[in-house]
Structure 1
Amino acid sequence: MAEKIRLQKILADAGVASRRKAEEMIAAGDVRVNDQPVQVGDKADPKHDKITVKGRLLKTHTPNVYLLLHKPRGFITTMSDEKGRKCVADLVKDIPERVYPVGRLDRESEGLLLMTNDGAFANAMTHPSRHVPKTYRVTVHPSITEEQLTQMAVGIVIDGRRTAPAQVRVLKQEQGRVVLEIILHEGRNRQIRKMCEALGLEVARLKRTAIGPLRLGMLQPGDYRELTAQEINQLNAAAKADRQSDSTSAPRPHNSRR
Protein backbone atom coordinates (compact mmCIF):
# COMPACT_ATOMS: atom_id res chain seq x y z
CA MET A 1 0.00 0.00 0.00
CA ALA A 2 1.35 3.41 -0.94
CA GLU A 3 2.49 5.59 1.93
CA LYS A 4 0.82 8.97 2.06
CA ILE A 5 2.63 11.91 3.67
CA ARG A 6 1.39 15.34 4.69
CA LEU A 7 1.86 17.79 1.85
CA GLN A 8 3.74 20.36 3.92
CA LYS A 9 6.36 17.72 4.73
CA ILE A 10 6.64 16.69 1.08
CA LEU A 11 7.22 20.31 0.06
CA ALA A 12 9.76 20.86 2.84
CA ASP A 13 11.66 17.67 2.03
CA ALA A 14 11.76 18.70 -1.65
CA GLY A 15 13.34 22.01 -0.66
CA VAL A 16 10.40 24.19 -1.72
CA ALA A 17 9.98 25.92 1.64
CA SER A 18 9.84 25.33 5.37
CA ARG A 19 6.83 23.41 6.66
CA ARG A 20 5.23 26.60 7.97
CA LYS A 21 5.71 28.39 4.67
CA ALA A 22 4.46 25.31 2.82
CA GLU A 23 1.26 25.39 4.88
CA GLU A 24 0.76 29.03 3.84
CA MET A 25 1.24 28.07 0.19
CA ILE A 26 -1.29 25.24 0.50
CA ALA A 27 -3.81 27.54 2.20
CA ALA A 28 -3.31 30.09 -0.57
CA GLY A 29 -4.24 27.50 -3.21
CA ASP A 30 -0.73 27.32 -4.72
CA VAL A 31 -0.55 23.52 -4.37
CA ARG A 32 -2.59 20.90 -6.25
CA VAL A 33 -2.52 17.09 -6.22
CA ASN A 34 -3.52 15.28 -9.40
CA ASP A 35 -4.87 18.64 -10.61
CA GLN A 36 -7.22 18.87 -7.61
CA PRO A 37 -7.18 21.63 -4.94
CA VAL A 38 -5.96 20.61 -1.47
CA GLN A 39 -6.10 21.86 2.10
CA VAL A 40 -3.58 22.09 4.93
CA GLY A 41 -3.28 18.62 6.49
CA ASP A 42 -4.03 16.72 3.29
CA LYS A 43 -1.70 13.88 2.36
CA ALA A 44 -0.27 12.55 -0.87
CA ASP A 45 1.98 9.78 -2.17
CA PRO A 46 5.12 11.56 -3.46
CA LYS A 47 6.07 8.52 -5.57
CA HIS A 48 2.82 8.24 -7.49
CA ASP A 49 0.75 11.43 -7.13
CA LYS A 50 1.22 14.42 -9.41
CA ILE A 51 1.98 17.38 -7.16
CA THR A 52 2.21 20.90 -8.59
CA VAL A 53 3.26 24.16 -6.95
CA LYS A 54 2.02 27.28 -8.72
CA GLY A 55 1.49 25.15 -11.82
CA ARG A 56 4.98 23.63 -11.82
CA LEU A 57 5.52 19.91 -11.31
CA LEU A 58 7.22 19.16 -8.01
CA LYS A 59 10.37 17.06 -8.14
CA THR A 60 10.06 14.86 -5.08
CA HIS A 61 13.04 12.57 -5.54
CA THR A 62 15.93 14.56 -4.07
CA PRO A 63 19.12 12.90 -2.84
CA ASN A 64 19.77 12.75 0.89
CA VAL A 65 22.51 15.13 2.03
CA TYR A 66 24.51 14.83 5.26
CA LEU A 67 26.88 17.65 6.21
CA LEU A 68 29.30 18.34 9.04
CA LEU A 69 29.52 22.12 9.50
CA HIS A 70 31.95 23.98 11.74
CA LYS A 71 29.59 26.63 13.05
CA PRO A 72 31.42 29.85 13.96
CA ARG A 73 30.48 32.08 16.86
CA GLY A 74 28.00 34.80 15.98
CA PHE A 75 25.76 32.62 13.78
CA ILE A 76 22.35 31.41 14.90
CA THR A 77 21.23 27.84 14.24
CA THR A 78 18.33 28.49 11.91
CA MET A 79 17.68 28.75 8.19
CA SER A 80 16.28 32.30 8.32
CA ASP A 81 15.95 35.11 10.82
CA GLU A 82 13.44 37.94 10.76
CA LYS A 83 15.89 40.15 12.65
CA GLY A 84 18.48 39.84 9.89
CA ARG A 85 21.08 38.06 12.01
CA LYS A 86 23.67 35.75 10.46
CA CYS A 87 22.31 32.19 10.06
CA VAL A 88 23.97 28.85 9.38
CA ALA A 89 21.96 28.82 6.14
CA ASP A 90 24.37 31.47 4.85
CA LEU A 91 27.23 28.97 5.18
CA VAL A 92 25.61 26.23 3.06
CA LYS A 93 23.80 28.34 0.44
CA ASP A 94 25.77 26.70 -2.38
CA ILE A 95 24.15 23.32 -1.57
CA PRO A 96 21.34 22.79 -4.15
CA GLU A 97 19.21 20.72 -1.75
CA ARG A 98 17.45 22.36 1.17
CA VAL A 99 19.25 21.14 4.29
CA TYR A 100 18.47 22.12 7.88
CA PRO A 101 20.29 21.90 11.24
CA VAL A 102 20.16 18.79 13.39
CA GLY A 103 19.81 20.12 16.92
CA ARG A 104 21.20 23.48 17.99
CA LEU A 105 24.23 25.44 19.07
CA ASP A 106 23.46 28.85 20.56
CA ARG A 107 24.70 32.04 18.93
CA GLU A 108 27.91 32.38 20.94
CA SER A 109 28.78 28.67 20.82
CA GLU A 110 30.78 27.09 18.02
CA GLY A 111 31.83 23.75 16.63
CA LEU A 112 30.31 20.63 15.13
CA LEU A 113 26.80 21.00 13.72
CA LEU A 114 25.11 18.36 11.57
CA MET A 115 22.88 19.46 8.69
CA THR A 116 20.73 17.22 6.51
CA ASN A 117 17.51 16.87 4.52
CA ASP A 118 16.89 13.35 5.88
CA GLY A 119 14.15 13.61 8.50
CA ALA A 120 14.62 10.06 9.81
CA PHE A 121 18.34 10.65 10.39
CA ALA A 122 17.67 14.00 12.10
CA ASN A 123 15.10 12.37 14.38
CA ALA A 124 17.51 9.56 15.29
CA MET A 125 20.12 12.13 16.33
CA THR A 126 17.80 14.34 18.38
CA HIS A 127 14.99 12.17 19.75
CA PRO A 128 14.89 12.28 23.58
CA SER A 129 15.04 8.47 23.78
CA ARG A 130 18.30 8.35 21.84
CA HIS A 131 20.91 10.31 23.76
CA VAL A 132 23.83 10.30 21.33
CA PRO A 133 26.72 11.65 23.44
CA LYS A 134 28.02 15.10 22.56
CA THR A 135 31.49 16.31 23.53
CA TYR A 136 32.34 19.94 24.30
CA ARG A 137 35.52 21.88 25.04
CA VAL A 138 34.53 24.56 27.54
CA THR A 139 36.68 27.39 28.88
CA VAL A 140 35.46 28.79 32.21
CA HIS A 141 36.53 31.56 34.59
CA PRO A 142 37.91 31.91 37.18
CA SER A 143 38.68 28.38 38.42
CA ILE A 144 36.93 25.17 39.42
CA THR A 145 36.92 22.99 42.53
CA GLU A 146 36.65 19.24 42.92
CA GLU A 147 33.22 19.76 44.45
CA GLN A 148 32.03 21.72 41.41
CA LEU A 149 33.38 19.03 39.08
CA THR A 150 31.51 16.37 41.04
CA GLN A 151 28.28 18.39 40.99
CA MET A 152 28.54 18.81 37.25
CA ALA A 153 29.18 15.08 36.80
CA VAL A 154 26.36 13.76 38.99
CA GLY A 155 23.78 16.35 37.94
CA ILE A 156 22.61 19.87 38.72
CA VAL A 157 19.05 21.15 39.05
CA ILE A 158 18.36 23.67 36.30
CA ASP A 159 14.92 24.88 35.25
CA GLY A 160 13.42 22.72 38.00
CA ARG A 161 14.89 19.43 36.76
CA ARG A 162 18.17 17.67 37.48
CA THR A 163 20.53 17.16 34.56
CA ALA A 164 21.57 13.65 33.58
CA PRO A 165 25.02 12.53 34.75
CA ALA A 166 27.85 13.90 32.59
CA GLN A 167 31.50 13.05 32.07
CA VAL A 168 33.77 15.95 33.01
CA ARG A 169 37.54 16.29 33.06
CA VAL A 170 40.05 19.11 33.30
CA LEU A 171 42.13 19.51 30.14
CA LYS A 172 44.10 22.57 31.16
CA GLN A 173 44.25 24.85 34.21
CA GLU A 174 45.90 28.26 34.37
CA GLN A 175 45.57 31.30 36.60
CA GLY A 176 41.93 32.42 36.35
CA ARG A 177 41.11 30.03 33.51
CA VAL A 178 40.18 26.34 33.21
CA VAL A 179 39.54 24.30 30.07
CA LEU A 180 37.13 21.40 30.53
CA GLU A 181 35.96 18.52 28.41
CA ILE A 182 32.27 17.82 29.06
CA ILE A 183 30.33 14.92 27.52
CA LEU A 184 26.55 15.21 27.71
CA HIS A 185 24.05 12.43 27.19
CA GLU A 186 21.02 14.68 26.85
CA GLY A 187 20.23 17.79 24.85
CA ARG A 188 18.63 20.56 26.91
CA ASN A 189 18.55 24.21 25.87
CA ARG A 190 21.83 26.02 26.75
CA GLN A 191 22.52 23.20 29.20
CA ILE A 192 26.25 23.69 29.78
CA ARG A 193 25.91 27.46 30.18
CA LYS A 194 23.11 27.00 32.71
CA MET A 195 25.06 24.33 34.61
CA CYS A 196 28.08 26.62 34.85
CA GLU A 197 25.93 29.58 35.86
CA ALA A 198 24.40 27.50 38.67
CA LEU A 199 27.93 26.81 39.96
CA GLY A 200 29.06 30.45 39.70
CA LEU A 201 31.30 29.82 36.70
CA GLU A 202 31.57 32.14 33.70
CA VAL A 203 31.72 30.46 30.28
CA ALA A 204 34.29 32.22 28.10
CA ARG A 205 34.18 29.79 25.20
CA LEU A 206 32.08 26.74 24.30
CA LYS A 207 32.92 24.49 21.39
CA ARG A 208 31.29 21.19 20.39
CA THR A 209 34.06 18.87 19.25
CA ALA A 210 32.23 15.57 18.70
CA ILE A 211 28.84 13.91 18.30
CA GLY A 212 29.08 10.21 19.10
CA PRO A 213 32.06 8.83 17.14
CA LEU A 214 32.10 11.81 14.73
CA ARG A 215 34.78 14.41 15.49
CA LEU A 216 35.16 17.98 14.24
CA GLY A 217 38.85 17.49 13.46
CA MET A 218 40.69 20.26 11.63
CA LEU A 219 37.68 21.64 9.76
CA GLN A 220 37.88 25.43 9.88
CA PRO A 221 35.08 27.73 11.17
CA GLY A 222 32.50 28.36 8.46
CA ASP A 223 33.56 25.34 6.39
CA TYR A 224 31.62 22.12 5.89
CA ARG A 225 32.11 18.68 4.38
CA GLU A 226 29.88 15.78 3.46
CA LEU A 227 29.71 12.81 5.79
CA THR A 228 30.96 9.49 4.47
CA ALA A 229 28.64 6.47 4.30
CA GLN A 230 30.67 4.92 7.11
CA GLU A 231 30.20 7.99 9.34
CA ILE A 232 26.44 8.00 8.73
CA ASN A 233 26.25 4.32 9.65
CA GLN A 234 28.35 4.90 12.77
CA LEU A 235 26.08 7.74 13.93
CA ASN A 236 22.95 5.66 13.39
CA ALA A 237 24.56 2.77 15.26
CA ALA A 238 25.49 5.11 18.14
CA ALA A 239 21.87 6.28 18.39
CA LYS A 240 20.60 2.70 18.58
CA ALA A 241 23.29 1.59 21.04
CA ASP A 242 22.71 4.52 23.40
CA ARG A 243 18.95 3.92 23.37
CA GLN A 244 19.45 0.26 24.30
CA SER A 245 21.93 1.01 27.11
CA ASP A 246 20.13 4.06 28.52
CA SER A 247 18.14 2.15 31.13
CA THR A 248 20.97 -0.12 32.24
CA SER A 249 23.98 2.16 32.59
CA ALA A 250 24.97 5.70 33.44
CA PRO A 251 27.93 7.87 32.40
CA ARG A 252 30.98 7.71 34.63
CA PRO A 253 31.70 10.63 36.97
CA HIS A 254 34.54 13.01 36.22
CA ASN A 255 38.09 11.78 35.94
CA SER A 256 40.87 13.14 38.12
CA ARG A 257 42.79 16.19 36.97
CA ARG A 258 45.70 15.72 34.68
Structure 2
Amino acid sequence: MPTLTATPSALPDFADALNAHVWRAGELGSASVQTVATGYAALDQALPGGGWPQGALVELLLPQAGQHEWGLLAPGLARALNQPATPDEPGAQLTALVGAPYLPFGPALGARQIDMRRLISIHGKPGNAPSLLWAAREALLCADVAAVLAWLPDARSAHLRRLQIAAHAHHKLLFVFRPLRAQNESSPAPLRLLLEGAVEEGGNLRVHVVKRRGPPLTAPLLLDTRAPRLAALMLASRERARLKREETAPLFLPVTSPLSPVHALLDRIAHLDHH
Protein backbone atom coordinates (compact mmCIF):
# COMPACT_ATOMS: atom_id res chain seq x y z
CA MET A 1 0.00 0.00 0.00
CA PRO A 2 1.51 3.36 -0.95
CA THR A 3 2.07 5.80 1.87
CA LEU A 4 1.89 9.60 1.87
CA THR A 5 4.37 11.62 3.82
CA ALA A 6 3.67 15.23 4.70
CA THR A 7 6.84 17.25 4.74
CA PRO A 8 7.13 19.94 7.43
CA SER A 9 7.48 22.66 4.81
CA ALA A 10 4.12 21.70 3.27
CA LEU A 11 2.17 21.86 6.51
CA PRO A 12 2.13 25.67 6.87
CA ASP A 13 0.86 26.07 3.29
CA PHE A 14 -1.89 23.54 3.94
CA ALA A 15 -2.89 25.36 7.16
CA ASP A 16 -2.94 28.71 5.37
CA ALA A 17 -5.19 27.28 2.67
CA LEU A 18 -7.60 26.02 5.31
CA ASN A 19 -7.55 29.29 7.25
CA ALA A 20 -8.43 31.24 4.12
CA HIS A 21 -11.86 29.55 4.17
CA VAL A 22 -12.44 29.82 7.92
CA TRP A 23 -14.56 32.71 9.11
CA ARG A 24 -13.88 34.09 12.59
CA ALA A 25 -16.88 35.61 14.34
CA GLY A 26 -14.87 38.67 15.35
CA GLU A 27 -14.10 39.55 11.72
CA LEU A 28 -16.15 40.50 8.70
CA GLY A 29 -17.05 37.70 6.31
CA SER A 30 -14.60 36.39 3.77
CA ALA A 31 -13.56 38.75 1.01
CA SER A 32 -14.09 35.83 -1.42
CA VAL A 33 -17.80 36.73 -1.50
CA GLN A 34 -18.54 38.44 -4.82
CA THR A 35 -20.20 41.80 -4.23
CA VAL A 36 -21.41 44.93 -5.98
CA ALA A 37 -20.35 48.26 -4.49
CA THR A 38 -23.27 50.05 -2.86
CA GLY A 39 -22.13 53.53 -3.90
CA TYR A 40 -21.61 54.58 -0.28
CA ALA A 41 -18.08 54.18 1.06
CA ALA A 42 -19.16 54.00 4.72
CA LEU A 43 -21.68 51.26 3.97
CA ASP A 44 -19.22 49.28 1.85
CA GLN A 45 -16.78 49.26 4.76
CA ALA A 46 -19.46 47.85 7.06
CA LEU A 47 -20.57 45.04 4.74
CA PRO A 48 -18.78 41.71 4.32
CA GLY A 49 -16.93 41.70 1.01
CA GLY A 50 -17.33 45.47 0.65
CA GLY A 51 -20.76 45.69 -0.98
CA TRP A 52 -24.09 44.03 -1.76
CA PRO A 53 -23.58 40.26 -1.86
CA GLN A 54 -24.42 38.45 -5.08
CA GLY A 55 -26.13 35.15 -4.52
CA ALA A 56 -27.50 36.03 -1.07
CA LEU A 57 -30.64 37.46 0.44
CA VAL A 58 -30.46 41.04 1.75
CA GLU A 59 -33.40 41.83 4.03
CA LEU A 60 -34.32 45.49 4.48
CA LEU A 61 -36.66 46.49 7.32
CA LEU A 62 -38.65 49.67 6.66
CA PRO A 63 -41.02 51.82 8.74
CA GLN A 64 -43.05 52.43 5.56
CA ALA A 65 -42.68 50.85 2.15
CA GLY A 66 -41.80 53.17 -0.71
CA GLN A 67 -39.74 55.74 1.24
CA HIS A 68 -36.06 54.83 1.24
CA GLU A 69 -35.59 51.86 -1.08
CA TRP A 70 -34.42 53.55 -4.26
CA GLY A 71 -32.18 56.10 -2.62
CA LEU A 72 -30.23 53.31 -0.96
CA LEU A 73 -30.15 50.76 -3.78
CA ALA A 74 -30.00 52.86 -6.95
CA PRO A 75 -26.20 53.38 -7.08
CA GLY A 76 -25.46 49.66 -6.69
CA LEU A 77 -28.19 48.62 -9.13
CA ALA A 78 -26.84 51.05 -11.72
CA ARG A 79 -23.42 49.42 -11.40
CA ALA A 80 -24.86 45.92 -11.70
CA LEU A 81 -27.06 46.70 -14.70
CA ASN A 82 -24.53 48.78 -16.63
CA GLN A 83 -21.49 46.57 -16.26
CA PRO A 84 -19.92 45.51 -19.60
CA ALA A 85 -20.93 42.20 -21.09
CA THR A 86 -18.76 39.10 -20.64
CA PRO A 87 -19.14 35.49 -21.86
CA ASP A 88 -20.60 34.58 -18.46
CA GLU A 89 -22.58 37.82 -17.98
CA PRO A 90 -24.34 38.93 -21.19
CA GLY A 91 -24.98 42.46 -19.90
CA ALA A 92 -28.05 44.64 -20.50
CA GLN A 93 -29.88 42.61 -17.85
CA LEU A 94 -33.18 43.32 -16.12
CA THR A 95 -34.37 44.12 -12.62
CA ALA A 96 -37.63 42.53 -11.46
CA LEU A 97 -39.84 44.43 -9.01
CA VAL A 98 -42.21 42.08 -7.19
CA GLY A 99 -45.10 43.59 -5.25
CA ALA A 100 -43.76 47.16 -5.40
CA PRO A 101 -46.12 49.53 -3.53
CA TYR A 102 -45.51 52.31 -6.07
CA LEU A 103 -44.02 52.49 -9.53
CA PRO A 104 -40.70 54.38 -9.45
CA PHE A 105 -40.43 57.80 -11.07
CA GLY A 106 -38.63 57.32 -14.38
CA PRO A 107 -36.75 60.65 -14.61
CA ALA A 108 -35.44 60.26 -11.06
CA LEU A 109 -34.08 56.82 -11.85
CA GLY A 110 -32.70 58.08 -15.14
CA ALA A 111 -30.71 60.69 -13.21
CA ARG A 112 -29.21 57.77 -11.29
CA GLN A 113 -28.25 55.91 -14.50
CA ILE A 114 -31.08 53.36 -14.29
CA ASP A 115 -33.09 52.76 -17.46
CA MET A 116 -36.80 52.30 -16.74
CA ARG A 117 -37.08 50.12 -19.84
CA ARG A 118 -35.02 47.49 -18.04
CA LEU A 119 -37.38 47.22 -15.08
CA ILE A 120 -40.12 44.60 -14.90
CA SER A 121 -42.92 45.19 -12.39
CA ILE A 122 -44.89 42.15 -11.19
CA HIS A 123 -48.06 42.62 -9.19
CA GLY A 124 -50.20 40.07 -7.38
CA LYS A 125 -53.70 40.13 -6.05
CA PRO A 126 -54.05 42.03 -2.74
CA GLY A 127 -53.50 39.67 0.16
CA ASN A 128 -52.25 36.85 -2.06
CA ALA A 129 -48.74 36.48 -0.62
CA PRO A 130 -48.05 33.04 -2.19
CA SER A 131 -48.33 34.49 -5.70
CA LEU A 132 -45.70 37.14 -4.93
CA LEU A 133 -43.36 34.55 -3.43
CA TRP A 134 -43.78 32.37 -6.50
CA ALA A 135 -43.11 35.33 -8.80
CA ALA A 136 -39.98 36.32 -6.87
CA ARG A 137 -38.59 32.79 -7.10
CA GLU A 138 -39.38 32.52 -10.81
CA ALA A 139 -37.65 35.85 -11.44
CA LEU A 140 -34.52 34.55 -9.71
CA LEU A 141 -34.52 31.58 -12.09
CA CYS A 142 -34.70 33.82 -15.16
CA ALA A 143 -31.36 34.16 -16.98
CA ASP A 144 -32.08 37.74 -18.11
CA VAL A 145 -32.73 39.03 -14.58
CA ALA A 146 -29.74 40.42 -12.67
CA ALA A 147 -31.56 41.59 -9.54
CA VAL A 148 -34.88 41.03 -7.79
CA LEU A 149 -36.50 43.56 -5.46
CA ALA A 150 -39.43 42.04 -3.59
CA TRP A 151 -41.85 43.66 -1.13
CA LEU A 152 -43.04 40.72 0.99
CA PRO A 153 -44.57 41.99 4.24
CA ASP A 154 -46.17 38.63 5.08
CA ALA A 155 -43.26 36.34 4.22
CA ARG A 156 -42.12 33.80 6.80
CA SER A 157 -38.69 32.38 7.49
CA ALA A 158 -39.35 29.23 5.44
CA HIS A 159 -40.41 31.33 2.45
CA LEU A 160 -37.31 33.49 2.68
CA ARG A 161 -35.12 30.40 2.92
CA ARG A 162 -36.40 29.21 -0.47
CA LEU A 163 -35.60 32.58 -1.99
CA GLN A 164 -32.14 32.54 -0.39
CA ILE A 165 -31.45 29.14 -1.94
CA ALA A 166 -32.60 30.31 -5.38
CA ALA A 167 -30.52 33.50 -5.21
CA HIS A 168 -27.45 31.50 -4.20
CA ALA A 169 -27.96 28.86 -6.89
CA HIS A 170 -28.31 31.44 -9.66
CA HIS A 171 -25.94 34.10 -8.29
CA LYS A 172 -28.49 36.93 -8.28
CA LEU A 173 -28.88 40.13 -6.29
CA LEU A 174 -31.92 39.74 -4.05
CA PHE A 175 -33.43 42.43 -1.83
CA VAL A 176 -36.55 41.71 0.24
CA PHE A 177 -38.38 44.55 1.98
CA ARG A 178 -40.30 43.82 5.16
CA PRO A 179 -41.95 45.95 7.88
CA LEU A 180 -40.27 46.81 11.17
CA ARG A 181 -42.39 44.29 13.06
CA ALA A 182 -40.35 41.53 11.40
CA GLN A 183 -37.09 42.54 13.07
CA ASN A 184 -37.69 40.18 16.02
CA GLU A 185 -38.46 37.22 13.76
CA SER A 186 -35.82 34.71 12.71
CA SER A 187 -34.51 35.12 9.18
CA PRO A 188 -32.18 33.13 6.91
CA ALA A 189 -30.84 36.37 5.41
CA PRO A 190 -27.09 36.69 6.01
CA LEU A 191 -27.51 40.47 5.86
CA ARG A 192 -30.33 42.42 7.54
CA LEU A 193 -30.53 46.20 7.59
CA LEU A 194 -33.03 48.49 9.31
CA LEU A 195 -33.65 51.82 7.56
CA GLU A 196 -34.69 54.98 9.39
CA GLY A 197 -35.26 58.41 7.89
CA ALA A 198 -33.18 61.31 9.24
CA VAL A 199 -33.18 65.09 8.90
CA GLU A 200 -29.59 66.07 9.49
CA GLU A 201 -26.91 68.12 7.78
CA GLY A 202 -24.82 65.03 7.04
CA GLY A 203 -27.52 62.78 5.61
CA ASN A 204 -31.13 61.71 5.31
CA LEU A 205 -30.99 57.99 6.10
CA ARG A 206 -29.77 56.00 9.09
CA VAL A 207 -28.83 52.42 8.35
CA HIS A 208 -28.78 50.00 11.29
CA VAL A 209 -26.88 46.79 10.55
CA VAL A 210 -29.08 44.30 12.41
CA LYS A 211 -27.29 41.20 11.15
CA ARG A 212 -24.12 40.60 9.18
CA ARG A 213 -21.42 37.99 8.96
CA GLY A 214 -19.15 39.68 11.46
CA PRO A 215 -19.17 41.54 14.78
CA PRO A 216 -22.16 43.74 15.63
CA LEU A 217 -22.11 47.32 14.45
CA THR A 218 -22.93 49.34 17.55
CA ALA A 219 -23.83 52.65 15.89
CA PRO A 220 -25.97 53.25 12.78
CA LEU A 221 -24.52 54.69 9.60
CA LEU A 222 -25.73 58.09 8.42
CA LEU A 223 -25.97 58.25 4.63
CA ASP A 224 -27.00 60.95 2.18
CA THR A 225 -29.00 58.97 -0.37
CA ARG A 226 -30.40 61.93 -2.29
CA ALA A 227 -29.42 62.15 -5.94
CA PRO A 228 -26.47 64.54 -6.44
CA ARG A 229 -28.51 66.85 -8.67
CA LEU A 230 -31.37 66.94 -6.19
CA ALA A 231 -28.97 67.60 -3.33
CA ALA A 232 -27.40 70.47 -5.28
CA LEU A 233 -30.83 71.95 -6.06
CA MET A 234 -31.87 71.74 -2.41
CA LEU A 235 -28.63 73.39 -1.31
CA ALA A 236 -29.13 76.20 -3.83
CA SER A 237 -32.74 76.63 -2.68
CA ARG A 238 -31.67 76.94 0.96
CA GLU A 239 -29.02 79.49 0.00
CA ARG A 240 -31.56 81.58 -1.95
CA ALA A 241 -33.95 81.48 1.02
CA ARG A 242 -31.16 82.61 3.35
CA LEU A 243 -30.20 85.53 1.12
CA LYS A 244 -33.85 86.55 0.80
CA ARG A 245 -34.26 86.55 4.58
CA GLU A 246 -31.19 88.72 4.93
CA GLU A 247 -32.49 91.18 2.31
CA THR A 248 -35.92 91.54 3.93
CA ALA A 249 -34.75 91.52 7.54
CA PRO A 250 -35.17 94.86 9.37
CA LEU A 251 -32.02 96.88 9.86
CA PHE A 252 -31.25 97.16 13.55
CA LEU A 253 -29.39 100.39 14.40
CA PRO A 254 -28.42 101.95 17.72
CA VAL A 255 -31.11 104.26 19.13
CA THR A 256 -28.63 107.13 19.09
CA SER A 257 -28.04 106.74 15.34
CA PRO A 258 -29.72 109.48 13.24
CA LEU A 259 -30.82 106.73 10.83
CA SER A 260 -32.64 104.81 13.54
CA PRO A 261 -36.49 104.91 13.34
CA VAL A 262 -36.60 105.15 17.13
CA HIS A 263 -34.30 108.17 17.04
CA ALA A 264 -36.55 109.84 14.45
CA LEU A 265 -39.66 109.19 16.58
CA LEU A 266 -38.05 110.61 19.72
CA ASP A 267 -36.92 113.66 17.74
CA ARG A 268 -40.48 114.26 16.52
CA ILE A 269 -41.88 113.95 20.08
CA ALA A 270 -39.30 116.40 21.35
CA HIS A 271 -40.22 118.85 18.57
CA LEU A 272 -43.95 118.63 19.48
CA ASP A 273 -43.20 119.25 23.17
CA HIS A 274 -41.15 122.31 22.26
CA HIS A 275 -44.20 123.86 20.56
- Structure 1 length-normalised TM: 0.22
Q: Which has the higher strand share?
A: 1
- Structure 2 length-normalised TM: 0.21
